Amino acid sequence: MYDILSIGDCVLDTLLLIDKAQIRYGKKGHRPEALCLSYADKIAIAKAVQSLGGNAANFAVGAKKLGTKVAIMSQIGEDINGRMIQEGLKKKNVDTTYLTLGRNLQTRYSIVLNYDTERTVLSNHPKHRYIFPEMPQTKWVYYTSLGEGFERLQKKLRSWIHKHPNVHLAMNPGSYMLKHGVVAIKEILQDLDVLFVNKEEAEHILQIKAPVQTLLKKFWSLGVDIPVITDGARGSYAYQNGEYFFMPIFPVKPIAKTGAGDAFAAGFISALIFKKEVKEALEWGTANAAGVIQKFGAQEGILNKKDIQKLLKKYPKQRAIRM
């Protein structure tokens, strides 16, 4: 019996820290819209790191470090990138029993450009014929970023969840799913115990511009038990049983934000597994994200339970509240 089965594509990330670039702002002048690099020029890289990545892997590593029993279900190629991912997961003590290596599959990879604490991701989404193998016993399923063809796997996952009502389902849709599969995302909302999205993603899925409270209530009306919306430096929000919750961020200096959302989700779900209330789950998630953004790399700053308690003790005023 696992605490969590993490389902999604694994990625080999190459993270590049850029010293010099320009930001192009929108018409109103206050919202960054584009990262601009000099054309046909050599761009200096301050730092480069290659590591295991992808939402499913980042989440699994984070949940494992917090003390849960976690396995990952993913498909990778029998190429160098795939072997590096497999070895990386094993080193992090994530169960790879349900990691499938395919001879004709190309392992996903991405180039992550980090500039001024934000990241721009160049992501490769090779088409996979996603398979849905026999599922293990698990308390939670965490369903996240997949590429072209994900709808077939999702349909089978929903069927399995309907036959196993005691299993909790959480989702954090990936970039491809949000761009090409909003209809499919809406279909699974009614099956979700927890949904993680940022404010822009929430508005994209619901096709409305609205305050966070309105977005949370709308997701709940569509069947999500606990919708969670992150809003960058403005903090994070959740809704449960008619109550709204808000958690401010910790006043730490960010270096890079790659992996912050995955760390947040790992902290939140792990807290629920340890029988914590939603308020404390928001605190765990925010603390874990704060650890990640202080390091360069999606998994370098992931916290354990003692680290989370230390951070909460250091900032006693940073607590989740009922709104």
**Which CATH number characterizes residue 252's domain?**
3.40.1190.20
pLDDT-based confidence at residue 288 (cuts at 50, 70, 90): very high
Question: Is residue 195, in this structure, part of any structural domain at all?
Answer: yes
Tell me, what's the pLDDT at 292? 93
- 27 pLDDT higher than 80: no
Please name the helix (run of DSSP H) or strand (run of DSSP E) that holds residue 139, with its range, or none. strand 138-143
Over the stretch 43-102, which tens digit does the pLDDT of each residue have? 888 888 888 889 999 999 999 999 999 999 999 988 888 999 999 999 999 999 999 888
Average pLDDT over residues 24-39: 81
Question: What's the pLDDT at 20?
Answer: 83
3-state DSSP call for residue 259? coil
Residue 200 lies in a domain: yes
In a domain, 36, yes or no: no
Kindly state whether residue 18 falls inside one of the protein's structural domains.
no
User: Which pLDDT value is given to residue 165?
Assistant: 95
User: How far out from the chain centre does Cα 282 lie?
Assistant: 15
Position 265 scores a pLDDT of 98
Nearest-10 crossing angle of helices 212-221, 199-206: 50
100 or 274, which is more confident: 274
Please report whether residue 41 resides in a domain.
Answer: no
Q: Is the pLDDT of residue 145 over 70?
A: yes
- Higher pLDDT: 13 or 128? It is 13
Give tens-digit pLDDT for 219-260.
999 999 999 999 999 999 999 999 999 999 999 998 878 889
Positive or negative, the Cα torsion across 120, 126, 131, 134? negative
> What does the pLDDT read at residue 236?
98
User: Which of the four pLDDT bands, split at 50, 70 and 90, describes residue 299?
Assistant: confident
Query: Residue 44 falls within a domain, yes or no?
Result: no
Q: Yes or no: say if 301 and 294 are a contact pair by the CB < 8 Å rule.
A: yes
Give domain status of residue 239, yes or no: yes
Measured CA to CA in angstroms, residue 281 lies from 183, 187, 223, 230, 310 at distances of 29, 26, 20, 13, 16
Indicate the length of the chain as a whole number. 323
What CA–CA distance (Å, rounded) separates 224 from 221? 7
Tokens representing 201 are 């993603």
Q: Nearest Cα to 288, choosing from 262, 317, 313, 258?
A: 262
How many domains does one find in the chain?
A: 1
- 29 pLDDT higher than 90: no
Q: Which residue has the higher pLDDT, 147 or 161?
A: 161
SS3 assignment, position 253:
coil
- pLDDT of 155 strictly over 80: yes
Residues with Cβ within 8 Å of residue 33, at least 6 apart in sequence: 24, 25, 26
Q: Residue 3's pLDDT is what?
A: 98
| 161 or 16, higher pLDDT | 161
pLDDT of residue 26: 80
Q: What is the rounded average pLDDT of the residues 163-184?
A: 96
User: CB of 16 within 8 A of CB of 114?
Assistant: yes
Tell me if 261 sits within 8 A of 172, measured CB to CB. yes
Q: Terminal CA-to-CA distance of the chain, rounded, Å? A: 37
Residue 284: alpha-carbon gap to chain centroid = 15
Question: What is the CB neighbour count within 10 angstroms for residue 223?
Answer: 14
Helices (H) and strands (E) in the chain, counts: 10, 16
What domain range is 215 assigned to? 2-12+52-322
Q: Is the pLDDT of residue 126 over 80?
A: no
Q: Does some domain include residue 80?
A: yes
Q: Which amino acid is at 255?
A: I
3-state secondary structure of 117: strand
- Residue 73, SS3? strand
